[in-house]
Amino acid sequence: MNALLNRLLPRFLPPAGAQLDTETRAKLMAIVHKASPSGTVAAVLLPALTIFAFWDSADHAALLGWGAVMLLLAGGGLWFYLGYQRDSASMSRSAHTRKWWGHMRGVAFLTGLTWGSSALLHMYTGSAVFSSVLYLLSLGVLAGGAVSQAPVPSNLIYAGVPVLVPNLLLAEVAFPGHGIYVQLLLIIYALMLGRHALGLQGTLVRAIQLEGDSRRLAKQFQEEKERALHASEEKSRFLAAASHDLRQPVHALVMLVEALRARNQSTVLHPLVEQVAAGTQTIDLLFRSLLDLSKLEGRKVLPTLEPCELSALIRDVMSQFAADARESGLTLTPRVPDELYAMAEPVLLRRALFNLVQNALRYTKRGGVLITARQRRKHVRLEVWDTGAGILPDHLPDIFSPYYQVHNPQRDPSQGLGLGLAIFKECVRLMRGTYGVRSVPGKGSVFWFALPPVPAETVASVREMRAMAAAEDSKPDKLQGTVLVVDDDSQIRKAWIALMEAWGIRVACAAHGAEADKLFAKGLRPDIIFCDLRLPGSENGLDLLERWQNTQPQARSALLTGDLKSAALAAAEEAGYFVLSKPVDPASLRILLRRWLRTAG
């Protein structure tokens, strides 16, 4: 018999799980606690209904005695429920669990004894119907216990055995001639409930452990996120603190090159000066993009798109590769309309095109690279054609992934890192564009990306503004007037002097407010005051301009700043002051001077 049970029990009952930690035990006991009120109500209601229905089918004293025992169970259940709640508010989780874990088992054993005592009623009745009802009650209690006590399987032993044993022993008394059949049914039923309860407990334990793991991961993620945000804030603070000093030499370079252009009279030097000016503009653009990268890194807000003229940008990018293409014996050809606009972010557009051309030249050994741009009905499409090695179809889905290189399986760093196309993809995504590639192995590839078109009315406005700027630049007369520049950087002051004198404007410079006040005392009456927002010590450009409004009412005022996120800058814009960001764009500055000096002069 024992050998038979040893073979059958593992089929019905799953193996025991690992030892549970205090947190898991506490949560399992809390589930048992939630079921306690329903068990207490059942311990009063079901016996009362049974006694009322079968009052004439059994000995009255026995029925009343059983009812009193069940009231004892209801009292125990109520004590457990209220005491558990009371201590949970005043005890630590571990101490609370240790105390009430044993009490929970005691209540489970009391539950088994009281419900099991109903089997004694079989000896005080001759009604088969009443005996059947008592067995149904016992089966229901076992089923309810399998669910309510499943979180703690040991409770099933404390509660189930006292219910099961009396019913097994008195099965022949309740059903003469059928006792063995009833006993077998009870055993099979109990084994099935036990298996179900253990399976349910395993599910609960896994759910609790998964919840704990999720919380730990969430906490770890939050900590890592906070560290990343802290690092990002530190970087932003560094850029904000350093941007003013970083902008100064670029600001001076832009103004000095513009002064050189204005003063140059040599036709021989003119192309060289224009190349220097173009290179300076590129440095200016890349420098601005460097300081604006922090805005794009979070990807919370997509960059602002603006009308970009493609012809000049494509030719500028091609000029950066012209020498390399000639040295490799390759042709580099543009096919772009004279005037074509797309909605883009200039830095991202330049980087996307730069990476495509660089990639095409790297994998092209003979022939050349063709760059095309054309307007379609719903977008503007740019393409880079090459006559290189091409790409097998199996590789096409992966070529835009970081570090993926079709023709560099040895990961030779001299052939690049495999980031060019991944960066290209990210640039196009940020500009709300689409991209793709077509390739024929051995013949070459075509990489393309499409951008939103510029509305016709916007194109008209851009043309009008360019015409106005060209008309201003074509005027032969030099500007007339007096400008005061207040900046603590001597290099910047020298650049202002060179540019203003090249444009025919009288210029005076001061390093700080006190020096400017001395110039005013000597009779200086400027038409325009350009004042740096950040000055040495406690001086602030906004405060100085506010003061000079009273002493120099004839002067127009503008603030110069390399810090685009300060509270002082926000206050200046709110007060209505004109703000020029460093490095100052010479074309925009010239338009401003023509407007203000004409009015002032």
Q: Which helix (H) or strand (E) holds 327?
A: helix 310-327
Higher confidence at residue 575 or residue 138?
138
Least confident of 53-62, 334-343, 539-548, 583-592: 583-592
Least confident of 132-136, 152-156, 305-309: 152-156
Q: Which CATH superfamily is domain 459-600 in?
A: Response regulator (3.40.50.2300)
* Res. 272: pLDDT tops 90: no
Q: How many alpha carbons lie under 13 Å from residue 308 in its C-beta half-sphere? A: 22
pLDDT digit string, tens, across residues 115-126: 888 888 888 888
At which residue do the structure tokens 């002082």 appear?
568
The total of other beta-carbon atoms located within 10 Å of residue 149's CB is: 27
| Cα angle 245, 250, 252; round to 5 | 95
Q: Note whether 493 and 561 are within 8 A (CB).
A: no
Grade residue 516 by pLDDT with cuts at 50, 70 and 90.
very high
CA distance 164 to 523: 112
Q: State the average pLDDT over residues 426-449.
A: 90
The pTM of this model reads 0.42
- Which contacts of 590-596 are long-range, i.e. CB under 8 A and separated by 24 or more positions? 590/472, 590/473, 590/479, 590/503, 591/468, 591/469, 591/472, 592/558, 593/479, 593/481, 593/483, 593/503, 593/505, 593/528, 594/472, 594/479, 596/481, 596/527, 596/528, 596/556
* Res. 412: pLDDT tops 50: no
List the domain boundaries for the chain.
2-221, 306-451, 459-600
Q: Note whether 411 and 370 are within 8 A (CB).
A: no
Q: Which two tokens stand for residue 502?
A: 């090249």
Higher confidence at residue 592 or residue 209?
592
pLDDT at 235: 66
Q: Which helix (H) or strand (E) holds 129?
A: helix 128-148
Q: Is residue 84 helix, strand or coil?
A: helix
* Res. 563: pLDDT tops 70: no
Q: State the average pLDDT over residues 69-82.
A: 84
* Res. 179: pLDDT tops 50: yes
Mean pLDDT score across all residues of the chain = 79
pLDDT at 298: 47
* Res. 380: pLDDT tops 90: yes
Q: Note whether 254 and 284 are within 8 A (CB).
A: yes
CA distance 313 to 346: 9
CA distance 39 to 110: 12
pLDDT at 372: 93
**In CATH terms, are 306-451 and 459-600 the same topology?**
no
Q: Which CATH class is domain 306-451?
A: alpha beta
Q: State the average pLDDT over residues 246-255.
A: 71
Q: How many H-runs (helices) and E-runs (strands) does the chain carry? A: 18, 12
pLDDT at 287: 60
Grade residue 4 by pLDDT with cuts at 50, 70 and 90.
very low
pLDDT digit string, tens, across residues 287-333: 655 555 444 444 445 677 888 889 888 988 888 888 888 888 999 99
| Cα angle 506, 507, 511; round to 5 | 170
DSSP class of 434: E
Pairing relationship of beta strands 380-386 and 368-375 according to DSSP bridges: antiparallel
Least confident of 98-112, 329-343, 399-413, 554-568: 399-413
pLDDT at 7: 53
* Res. 47: pLDDT tops 70: yes
Smallest Cα–Cα separation from 372: which of 321, 311, 426, 316? 311
Higher confidence at residue 590 or residue 371?
371
